[in-house]
Chain A
Amino acid sequence: MFKRFVLISGLLISLFVVAIPTSAQEQALPDVGSYSEDALTARLNALKDLYRINLTDKERQSVIENCEPAQVGLLKISTKLATTKLSRAKTYSSVVSSLVGLRSLVSAKRIDPSNIELLTVEYQQTIEKFNLAITAYQTTLDDAIQVDCRAQPEEFRASIEGVRASRKQVVSASSQINEVTKSNLKTAFDTLKDRLDAEVQTDGK
């Protein structure tokens, strides 16, 4: 009996010990905002390790010869991305504002606004993911533009892989926003219309 107590307590304590580092780990957010020479070097080294970039002499030579025009191309993509980021931010912000306005109207009619609140939060969370992803994409593009590609062809090649990977994250985050729009928005608004009908019928009686 005593042994069982000790065993159960031990198990629970180990669970507790496992849970604390997990919570601490989730607090750490990727630092995509800061841009410095050290951070750039650290990111490039991490990418080089991640993608295990080992160029042959021929590949190395090819990168050295062609990387500067490639960086010009990347600069154009980066400039276009800045415009896209701004326009998307404006669109998403106006959508959230519309929903917050709708919630006020719904509350004023004394109708339960919980589904609109939940929808707003779903938008805010997916938009936040998108913002993080697009900022990270912009950082990887900046890294690829900034790296001295003739002196560091491996790092440049790694940075290109980083750009490709971070672009996928942006597309995935954008798709999530579209998905919320296609399914959750319709469901939430249909529910709201039902509640509105019920309210009108109650008032009519």
Chain B
Amino acid sequence: MENNDDKTLLRNNPFFVIGIACLIAIIMFAVSFLSYYNSDTRKTIEQIQANNLNTETEQTNDVVVSTDLNANYIDNLEKSITDKILAGDDDADFSPEELTDSALGL
């Protein structure tokens, strides 16, 4: 009986209820923050910010940037990047054949 009265007293105590709500809010904030902190999204955003900062610095240092941006320029750049990257031959550069027992003479 006395126990039930204690519970009712606690339930009706606004400080207790607000305290619990604050505790839950703090924990939820901490969990959300940690989830964000560990996520790839944070890394991506930070990287974008770092890149933008670098670009701004470069722009103030190098004033002359006057290439005309058009579809042709973009197509050429796409081709140039694709050619450069796909020129790397993984089979030749990191061949599994040269690491076999027979190739190593083991």
Seen from chain A, the residues whose Cβ lies within 8 Å of a Cβ on chain B are 1-2, 5, 8-9, 12-13, 15-16, 19-20, 22-23, 26, 62-63, 66-67, 69-70, 73-74, 77, 80-81, 84, 88, 91-92, 94-95, 98-109, 117-118, 120-121, 124-125, 137, 160, 163-164, 167, 170-171, 174-175, 177-178, 181-182, 185-186, 189, 192-193, 196-197
Contact = CB atoms under 8 A, between A and B. Distances in A.
Given A5-B20, A91-B84, A189 B69 contact: no
6 contacts: A19-B35, A91-B88, A108-B65, A118-B44, A121-B48, A174-B88
A23 B38 contact: yes
B80 to A, nearest CB: 7
Nearest to B82: A181
Nearest to B69: A105
What does DSSP make chain B's interface, helix, strand, loop or mixed? helix
Interface in B1-31: 7, 10-11, 20, 23-24, 27-28, 30-31
B78 A189 contact: yes
B99 A163 contact: yes
A205 B96 CA distance: 59
Interface residues of B, number: 52
Contacts of A108: 65, 69
A26 B34 CA distance: 11
A204 to B, nearest CB: 14
B47 A66 contact: no
B94 A170 contact: yes
Contact of A124 (B24, B37, B47): B47
